[in-house]
A and B are shown apart, each in its own frame.
Chain A
Amino acid sequence: MAKKKSEESIDEIDELMDEDIQSVYPEIEEEKEKLEEEEIGEFPEAEEELGEDLDFVIEEEEEVPQYKYLDIEIHHAEGKNNFEVIIKNQSHGFLNILLNHLLNLESVELAAYKKTNIELPRIFIKLKEGYNIKEILREAIDSLRNEVVDVQKLFKNLI
């Protein structure tokens, strides 16, 4: 009995020591794992050979769509709930369609855009009481995106 107890106590001490070591040196093990992963990934030729031997063809992943980011500045305009949004490097086409989507929203009272060769293009938006300009812009861009996706689907069906 005494021996069994002593063996159990030794096991407990070993477990505690392991936990202590893991808590003190966790990074070393992670680094080792990373190194092992890197070592595994260093043989592209071998993978290619394996791929040739296989009967099935490995499908390539679909290309992720590349998004174009807009440079936007939001300013308060003269009057309550009036805002001016400056959109850099955009044409009449984009401004016009964005304006139409903005006007379709219930929260937008009036909207207009201006594009000259002197100033940057800017959109004037007058909101109804209690709405946030950023949320409104997100809604408008979402509806614009949905329209673009619908048009893409239509064209794919035609082709």
Chain B
Amino acid sequence: MIILSKKTIRFFNKSGKLDNTICFLESIQKKVNYINLQCIVEGSDIEVTLSGPQDLQLLAIERLKALADKWLE
């Protein structure tokens, strides 16, 4: 049984560089697949909304965390 839900995660760009935010978003496009996602950027805040099956959301969150460690620290 596939359970569909919606989840929102917020990231903060500690480096403060716009280039890093852009790289973060581009890498999300490449690495996070098989799920619908919406990104909103306001200054250093990045809001990512995931919608789809829960198991795929968990996989996406894992990958998002790894990417955030790489680009937003």
Which residues of A are in contact with B by a Cβ distance under 8 Å?
78, 103, 109-110, 112-114, 124, 126
Q: Given the complex of chains A and B, what is the CA–CA distance between A126 and B2 in angstroms?
A: 15
* Contact A103 B34, beta carbon cutoff 8 Å: no
Q: Given the complex of chains A and B, what is the CA–CA distance between A109 and B58 in angstroms?
A: 12
Main secondary structure of the interface of B (DSSP, over half): mixed
Residues in B neighbouring A109, C-beta threshold 8 A: 55
| Cβ contacts A to B, 17 pairs, < 8 Å | A78-B31, A103-B2, A109-B55, A110-B53, A110-B55, A110-B56, A110-B59, A112-B34, A112-B35, A112-B53, A112-B56, A113-B34, A114-B33, A114-B34, A124-B33, A124-B34, A126-B59
In angstroms, how far is the closest chain A Cβ from the Cβ of B51? 13
Q: Given the complex of chains A and B, what is the CA–CA distance between A78 and B31 in angstroms?
A: 9
Of residues 10 through 51 on chain B, the ones whose CB sits less than 8 Å from some CB of chain A are 31, 33-35
Q: Given the complex of chains A and B, what is the CA–CA distance between A36 and B59 in angstroms?
A: 68
Main secondary structure of the interface of A (DSSP, over half): strand
In angstroms, how far is the closest chain A Cβ from the Cβ of B40? 24
Residues in A neighbouring B56, C-beta threshold 8 A: 110, 112
Q: Given the complex of chains A and B, what is the CA–CA distance between A103 and B31 in angstroms?
A: 23
CB-based A-B contact count at 8 angstroms: 17
B56 closest partner in A (C-beta):
A112
Which residues of B are in contact with A by a Cβ distance under 8 Å?
2, 31, 33-35, 53, 55-56, 59
Q: Given the complex of chains A and B, what is the CA–CA distance between A126 and B34 in angstroms?
A: 13
In angstroms, how far is the closest chain B Cβ from the Cβ of A111? 9
A111 closest partner in B (C-beta):
B55
Residues in A neighbouring B34, C-beta threshold 8 A: 112-114, 124
In angstroms, how far is the closest chain B Cβ from the Cβ of A75? 13
In angstroms, how far is the closest chain B Cβ from the Cβ of A157? 29
A84 closest partner in B (C-beta):
B33
Residues in A neighbouring B55, C-beta threshold 8 A: 109-110
Q: Given the complex of chains A and B, what is the CA–CA distance between A53 and B53 in angstroms?
A: 69
Q: Given the complex of chains A and B, what is the CA–CA distance between A109 and B62 in angstroms?
A: 15
A112 closest partner in B (C-beta):
B34
In angstroms, how far is the closest chain A Cβ from the Cβ of B68? 16
